[in-house]
Structure 1
Amino acid sequence: MSAALQRRRRLFQAAFLALFVSAPALDLLRWDLHEAQLWLLGRPWTLGIADFTAGRIGATEVALAILLRAFVPAIVLAVGFLYVAWRWGRLYCGWLCPHFSAVETLDRLMHRALGRASLWDAAPPAARGDWRWWPPFVLLAAGLGFLWAVTLLSYLLPPAEVWGRLLAGESTPNQARFLAVATAAFTAEFVFARHLFCRFGCAVGLFQSLAWMANPRAMVVAYDRARARDCRSCSTAAAPGGSACDTVCPMRLKPRDIKRRMFSCVQCGRCLDQCEQSQAAQAREPLLEWRTGADALRETLRLRAAELRAERPAPQPEEVV
């Protein structure tokens, strides 16, 4: 089940990445700096201010247009987005975000090149890298950095102009400077700080995490502690040294930990996939599973009680006089 879930998640990621790159060219969403005009779903999105300035509509009409075409859609979008996070956590990050898709892809290449998924991770005892994977890793990081830079520029200027000038080698000085600086910044981030940005620098992820933490019934990864001894023999192809669920987490979290320490969990389900693989190889049920609603609340309360018991100082023996 988890393997199929991961295939489905990668399809969602690929589809959203294609949408992210093609949206400006299809006029699905972009801001034209030349015309100071927002394009949405193939049509110019106006608030009636130009008509009001020209005297074609009155103050009431323009105020109503601003309310219905700016404030209401923004509020509905924000509330809907935070509601999804409140119920299920950072699903956008783990299932759609183009940046996170790049993070996971580059992690896999760096693991092949270095024996671990990040420059800042501690090397496993038997970690072995292959230097032949370094050129593909660096080239992909630079290619993604350039793609991100061009795509962001096409959200601000007509995509035909951006791509046309780029292919003809005639980009304006300002466009060339933007592309050079943005490509360098994105490439450096992809090489050195991929998951660090997701954990500590992304405002979209932060607000999702805050909404998720506010709901004790939100979806969580539950751990069957009664079978904790089964973790001793946990091993998969991705983590032959054991602790597979910890090893594969792209956010460097411990999936068996309490919710408070899982603040930046993106609900990617990779820990569940590894747990299922490991336990299935030994004809056992997985120890990790998603839980929601009352089950999630019970899991949260149980882990909180266990944490309090662990932090409580041990009683001191009475002194014998």
Structure 2
Amino acid sequence: MQVKSHLGLWGIPVQQWRRFTQVSFFLLFVFAPIFDLFRLDLNLKHFIILGMDWTLGLNDFVAGKDTAGQAAKAIFLHAILPLILLAAGVIYVAWKWGRIYCGWLCPHFSIVETINQTLRKAIGKQSLWDKEALPSRNPDGTQTKPDAIWWLGVIPLTIICAITWATVLLTYLLPPAEIYGNLWHGTLTRSQTVFLIAGSIAFFVEFMFARHLFCRYACALGLFQSLAWMGNDKAMVIGFKRERAKDCFSCYSACDHVCPMRLNPRNVKRMMFACVQCGQCTDACTQTQSDNPQGNLLEWVNQAYAESEAALNGSTARVIRIKLEKNNVIPIHNSNKKIPS
């Protein structure tokens, strides 16, 4: 049986778009230092951005040609102002759309999801710390039955991801040609070897045992995005049609099981602090409710509908939502519409 999925630009399913953006950004993450798009060269002691040297502009001050005031202006223009603009851009996007960077671009989170799915094939759980195994049934009607043979995929995959991350991070600090050349010829320096071994071990432990904990509590970028998002009651959020909660009885909590952050999407916003706006819960709901003429119960909403999700409890959120329905306030989309680009 063919089931529906939310559609995005050009009628392509949203999750396919998300996979495309994740793969594209991961490739950018790997190749950015190689093509000098962005990196910090410790040998040169300054950044390289788009092939150009990005310094603090203090050469003339060091040479005695500029005054202290001119040096302060250079630092502001070359360091402080760019950081302010970058931070403002990140905070604005998060304030309006939540942790969309995490769910759609972050190269770390794409690895988290990949390991999640591989681990599920091995033990039926997306995390070693989950108390119970997930149902073998998938929202689209297929089955994923755990098989211990998949441990032969989980361990090598985690090792490869750990080594890749450690190596790529090193190329952001030292010339990529030097690092990859030394790796190829087996001529890594002692410091490079120590960094790669320590980094690979640290990433292996994190990817294997604490990848969700890192995303939820240890990632500074993710934390600040969540704080900005929580500060805007009208920001985009996953909304739950609580007045139709009885329809959930026909489901097996598919939305809870697919969430890569191990959240419960039917909760109010304050309980969804670490939501990465991946939309997998809305897809799962659409698929499991494909025979329901009223459609799905989860959807992306903003503005007035989002304010109902910002309520302190589900009862208050339900009352607000019913009032909005009676007043014909329209959400971002429903199960029969495409998500706007």
- TM over 0.5: same fold? yes
- The 1:125/1:99 distance shift into structure 2, 3 A limit, reads closer
Structure 2 residue 249 is matched with structure 1 residue 232 = yes
RMSD over equivalenced CA pairs, Å: 1.9
Higher relative contact order (CA 8 A, sep 6+): 2
Quote the residue 1:77 is aligned against: 86
Equivalent of 1:110 in 119, 127, 141: 119
Which of 33, 40, 57 matches 1:31? 40
- Say whether residues 1:18 and 2:18 are aligned partners: no
Q: CA deviation at 1:124?
A: 3.3
- The number of aligned residues is 302
Instruction: Note closer, same or farther for the CA distance 1:135–1:39 as it changes in structure 2 (3 Å cut).
Output: same
2:219 aligns with: 202
1:2 to 6, 11, 23: 6
1:125, CA displacement in angstroms? 7.7
* Partner SS for 1:44: strand
Q: What is the SS of the residue equivalent to 1:167?
A: helix
**Residue 56 (structure 1) shift:** 4.0
- 1:220 lines up with 2:229 in the alignment: no
Q: Deviations over 1:197-223 (max 9, x none)?
A: 111211111111111111111111111
Structure 1 stretch 87-96 or stretch 47-56: which is displaced more?
A: 47-56
- State the match for 1:66 in structure 2: 75
Q: Write out per-residue CA displacement over residues 57-89 of structure 1, whole angstroms, 9 at most, x where no aligned residue.
A: 443433222111211111011011011111111
Unaligned runs of 5+ in 2: 8-12, 137-144, 320-341
What is residue 246 of structure 1 aligned with on the other side? 256
TM-score, with normalisation over the residues of structure 1? 0.89
Report SS of the residue matched to 1:2.
Answer: coil
> Once the 2 structures are TM-superposed, how far is the Cα of residue 41 of structure 1 from its aligned partner?
1.2
Larger fraction in helix? 1
How many Å apart are 1:256 and its aligned residue? 0.5
Output the CA distance in 2 between the equivalents of 1:299 and 1:106.
31
Are positions 1:182 and 2:192 aligned together?
no
Task: Write the distance in 2 (CA, Å) between the matches of 1:125 and 1:198.
Answer: 21
Percent of counterpart pairs with the same letter? 50
The Cα of 1:293 is off from its aligned counterpart by: 1.3
What is the alpha-carbon distance in structure 1 between the residues aligned to residue 77 and residue 56 of structure 2?
9
Mapped partners of 1:72, 1:144: distance in 2: 35
Does the 8 A contact of 2:270 with 2:312 survive in 1? no
In 1, distance between residues paired with 2:305 and 2:124?
A: 38
TM-score by length of 2: 0.84
Cα offsets for 1:89-124 (capped at 9, x unmatched): 111111111110000000000000011111111223
User: C-alpha displacement at 1:306, in angstroms?
Assistant: 3.2
Structure 1 unaligned regions, length at least 5:
235-241, 310-321
Rounded to whole Å, the distance in 2 between the matches of 1:307 and 1:2 is 24
Name the counterpart of 2:100. 91
CA distance in 2 between counterparts of 1:145 and 1:299 reads 37
Alignment-derived partner of residue 268 in structure 2: 258
